[in-house]
Amino acid sequence: MQSIPYKCFELFLVFILIPVSFTINYSPWIKLGIGFFGFVYVIYVLLKVENLKFKISKHLNWKIFWKTTIIKFAIIALITTVFVWTTNSKLLFNVMLNKPLQWLVILFIYSFFSVYPQELIYRTFFFKRYSMLFKSDNLFVFINAILFSLAHIFFKSSLVLFLTFLGGLLFAITYKQTKSTVLVSIEHAIYGCWLFTVGMGTMLGFPS
């Protein structure tokens, strides 16, 4: 499981073939099963093959993390607020204002049951398994962002692919700098929750 040919096949299967297959119209239960067993495989490899320990490092620089994240969030919040206001102002903060309980429940479920698994797969697993396949760190980060965007291809939206590519770049850079699944998950949750809050959640599969 540690050979280069095996890792190349694994990368193709997990990060290209399976996401693309989800664009095909077949049983959602089969898709759910594939996703579940894929996630179990990732956890198994991290624990048994890569000998990863799931623990929060005591040496995380929380001050720098929050400073950079707040700056990035401010820019994202400004751009997305203007975008929703100019394209469909009725959606602006619609769920938060009209369905506050649903809004809170979805934010909780999304943060813990969607964001964290995504970051385990696309940052922790990906960086641990495939960094040695690329000589260029910049290319590696770019490929990670492309594949993260590809994971959202089933939405069949060019805007979603663009946004998730940008998000993938930000998350990959954060993980490369911090090596922390916790920090990159927090950042991912902040941006994702904001998109739902500001009124862009429908295109990303959030209930409206």
Query: Hey, what amino acid is at 96?
Result: M
Residue 133 pLDDT: 92
Lowest mean pLDDT among 49-63, 72-86, 145-159: 49-63
Residue 57 pLDDT: 81
Question: Exposure of 121 by Cβ count < 10 A (0-12 exposed, 13-18 middle, 19+ buried)?
Answer: buried
Residue 139 pLDDT: 96
| 3-state DSSP of the chain | CCCHHHHHHHHHHHHHHHHHHCCCCCCHHHHHHHHHHHHHHHHHHHHHHCCCCCCCCCCCCHHHHHHHHHHHHHHHHHHHHHHHHHHCHHHCCHHHHHCHHHHHHHHHHHHHHHHHHHHHHHHHHHHHHHHHHCCCHHHHHHHHHHHHHHCCHHHCCHHHHHHHHHHHHHHHHHHHHHCCHHHHHHHHHHHHHHHHHHCCCHHHCCCC
Query: Hey, what amino acid is at 11?
Result: L
Taking residues 166-183, what's their average pLDDT? 96
pLDDT score of 1 more than 90? no
pLDDT score of 152 more than 90? yes
Taking residues 97-108, what's their average pLDDT? 94
The number of distinct structural domains making up the chain is: 1
- Using an 8 Å Cβ cutoff, are 69 and 187 in contact? yes
Instruction: State the residue range of the domain holding 22.
Output: 4-204
Residue 121 pLDDT: 96
Looking at every residue in the chain, the average pLDDT score rounds to: 93
Tokens standing for residue 111: 């943060």
Residue 205 pLDDT: 84
Residue 184 pLDDT: 97
Residue 39 pLDDT: 95
> For a pLDDT cut of 70, what percent of the chain falls above it?
100
Residue 93 pLDDT: 94
Query: For 108-129, what is each residue's pLDDT tens digit?
Result: 999 999 999 999 999 999 999 9
Residue 108 pLDDT: 94
Taking residues 32-49, what's their average pLDDT? 94
